[in-house]
Amino acid sequence: MERYFQPEIECMPREEMIKLQNEKLVKQVRHVWDNVPYYRKKMEEKGVTPDDIKSIDDLHKLPFLSKADLREAYPYGLLGVPLKDAVRIQSTSGTTGKRVVAFYTQKDIDLWEECCARAIVAAGGTDEDVCQVSYGYGLFTGGPGLNGGSHKVGCLTIPTSSGNTDRQIMFINDLHATILCCTPSYAAYLGERMKEMGYGPNDIPLKAGIFGAEAWSEEMRQDIQNTLGIKAYDIYGLTELSGPGVSFECSAQKGMHVNEDHFIAEIIDPDTGEVLPDGTQGELVFTSLDKEAFPLLRYRTRDICTLSREKCTCGRTHVKMAKPRGRSDDMLIIRGVNVFPSQIETVLLNYGYAANYQIIVDRVNMTDTLDVQVEMTPEMFTDNIGEIEAKQKELVDGLKSMLGLKAKVTLVNPKSITRSEGKAVRVIDKRKI
Ligand code: DLL
């Protein structure tokens, strides 16, 4: 039987949800206009005032906010409350530029943790569960968010943070952890390590995993589920909007329900900014309806995805987003062809490889090159050159039919690619160095 953390919200009839969003949006736009001069200026430039926003149908009139705005306004330019009312910051890792710092009031933290609690309950969590949180703690939102959600559900929470893999495994087994929260790449690594230590899927007490913070393929989900003997659920979020729990998967394991009482999702054409109909692929844009300290309106995530309002078997009524294919800035353009690392991952896993790979892009003699390095699994390991070449050729063909592009494939020895404890680094683009 499907369980909900807040059934009255999660299963709210659509008309009521729209009414709620209309009311919240009107209030939120006023809050931003009154308290965030940076965004007010953007509204003035576009000739929009709070009086123009009467319902979510007017959302498209508002200007977008982008990561560049967040950088320009760093650190306090988008703070929506007096400093004395803000109680926490979280921050992105800053790998693609200056860090983004997001602020929270105590109410913001409570609502964020409720979103994470919804995700844990959707994955089958109750107060009987032992929940190991192996996302990083600190400035990264993964650890604090799921930790708070786990408390709200009443799970016994193990705040291991990431790293120290053998200790993670010890706690899972000794304390009988039933729910694991970490990045999918770290879950795969934990699975690999446990297999080496002799654990089969039935020996591991875990029953569910809540994995997100990076793009991962359906094939990788199957792999993790089989190795750990669990159901693996996707969770999505970003620091700018709170952290994990903007959306989460339910028992259907087919897309993530957006917490629509707090966030309005739109899909836009990344080039023109035009709002696209449900089912069309484009860039995800979110408006936060309740955030007090960091209230972002029409924030462009750069994540490429689709939305669906089809009825879900779980009973939740909130719109679903598909697994993001990746960020528009992770999309590689190789000899004019758009390539997402997740497409490459799908091919590799379909041919029986594990998700231990690296994509190296370069430009040689004015031509882009794509080199996919993938580890042989211990079972397929061989030093017979003929066999290796045949396997490489098979993958070259598989990639050609997925991407329409000739890649070079290099099979490397098991364990030669560095494992990730947080977000995996899959791509080395030497053209940018
Ligand atoms: O990664 C928040 C998070 C923590 C989500 C733990 C889920 C679990 P940031 O570090 O700000 O926040 O990175 C946000 O990560 O814009 C996406 O590109 C990517 N991302 C997050 N979740 C998923 C997912 C956290 N489930 C950025 N699938 C986002 C694909 C994801 N990409």
Q: Is 209 in the pocket of ligand 1 (CB under 6 A)?
A: no
Total domains in the fold of the chain: 2
| Centroid of ligand 1 to alpha carbon of 52 (angstroms) | 33
Range of the domain at 210: 1-325
Q: Which residues of the chain have a pLDDT value below 70?
A: 94-97, 433
Q: How far apart are CA 241 and CA 71, in angstroms?
A: 15
Same domain (yes/no): 203, 72: yes
Q: How far apart are CA 26 and CA 108, in angstroms?
A: 18
Half-sphere exposure of 138 (CA within 13 A, CB side): 8
Query: Which tens digit of pLDDT belongs to each residue from 348-366?
Result: 999 999 999 999 999 998 8
Last residue of a domain, which of 281, 307, 325?
A: 325
Q: Do 174 and 157 have their domain in common?
A: yes
242 lines ligand 1 (CB under 6 A): no
Question: What pLDDT does 407 receive?
Answer: 96
Q: Could you tell me the distance, in angstroms and rounded to a whole number, from the CA of residue 288 to the centre of ligand 1?
A: 16
Q: What pLDDT score does 256 carry?
A: 98
Using the mean position of ligand 1's atoms as its centre, give its distance from the Cα of residue 129 in Å. Answer: 25
> What share of the chain has pLDDT > 70, as a percent?
99
The span from the CA of 290 to the CA of 296, in Å, is 10
How far is the first Cα of the chain from the last one, in angstroms, to the nearest whole number?
52
Look at residue 432 in the predicted model and tell me its pLDDT.
74
Question: How many Cα atoms are found within 13 Å in the side-chain-facing hemisphere of 250?
Answer: 23
Q: Are residues 304 and 369 in the same domain?
A: no
Shortest-distance Cα residue to atom 15 of ligand 1: 213
Distance 397 CA to ligand 1 centre (A): 31
Q: What is the domain-level CATH number for residue 353?
A: 3.30.300.30
Examine the domain organization and report whether 223 and 269 are in the same domain: yes
| pLDDT for residue 96 | 60
318 lies in the same domain as 338? no
Q: Are residues 343 and 196 in the same domain?
A: no
Predicted TM-score (pTM) above 0.85? yes
- The secondary structure of 249-313 as a DSSP string is E-TT-SSEEE-TTTEEEEEE-TTT--B--TT--EEEEEEESS-SSS--SSEEEEEEE-EE-PPPT
> What is the sign, positive or negative, of the torsion defined by CA atoms of 201, 202, 206, 208?
positive
H helices of 288-424, in order, are 341-350, 385-403
Q: Looking at the structure, tell me whether residues 348 and 318 fall in a common domain.
A: no
Ligand 1 contact via 148 beta carbon (within 6 Å): no
Q: Look at residue 290 in the predicted model and tell me its pLDDT.
A: 98
338 and 257 in one domain? no
Q: Ligand 1 pocket test: which of 104, 233, 303, 331 has the largest number of ligand atoms within 8 Å of its C-beta?
A: 303
Examine the domain organization and report whether 210 and 347 are in the same domain.
no
The residues, ordered by sequence, that sit 6+ positions from 265 with a Cβ below 8 Å of its Cβ are: 247, 258, 284, 285, 286, 307, 319, 321
Last residue of a domain, one of 293, 325, 357: 325
What's the confidence (pLDDT) of residue 325? Answer: 84
In this predicted structure, what is the pLDDT of residue 97?
66
Note whether 352 and 407 are same-domain residues. Answer: yes
User: What's residue 93's pLDDT?
Assistant: 72
Q: How much is the pLDDT for 94?
A: 65
The CA 165 to ligand 1 mean position distance, Å, reads: 22
Distance 302 CA to ligand 1 centre (A): 11
Task: For residue 226, give the CATH number of its domain.
Answer: 3.40.50.12780
**Atom of ligand 1 lying closest to residue 215 CA:** 30
Residue pLDDT, tens place only, 163-210: 999 999 999 999 999 999 999 999 999 999 999 999 999 999 999 999
What is the H or E stretch that residue 103 is in? Answer: strand 101-104
93 with 145, same domain: the answer is: yes
Q: Which of 266, 291, 325 is the last residue of a domain?
A: 325
Residue 338 burial (10 A CB sphere; 0-12, 13-18, 19+):
middle
Q: Do residues 319 and 265 touch, judged by C-beta distance below 8 A? A: yes
Same domain (yes/no): 148, 268: yes
Exposure pattern of 103-124 as b/e (b: 16+ CB <10 Å)? bbbeebbebbbbbbbbbbbbbb
Instruction: Give yes or no for a contact between 425 and 356, defined as CB atoms under 8 angstroms apart.
Output: no
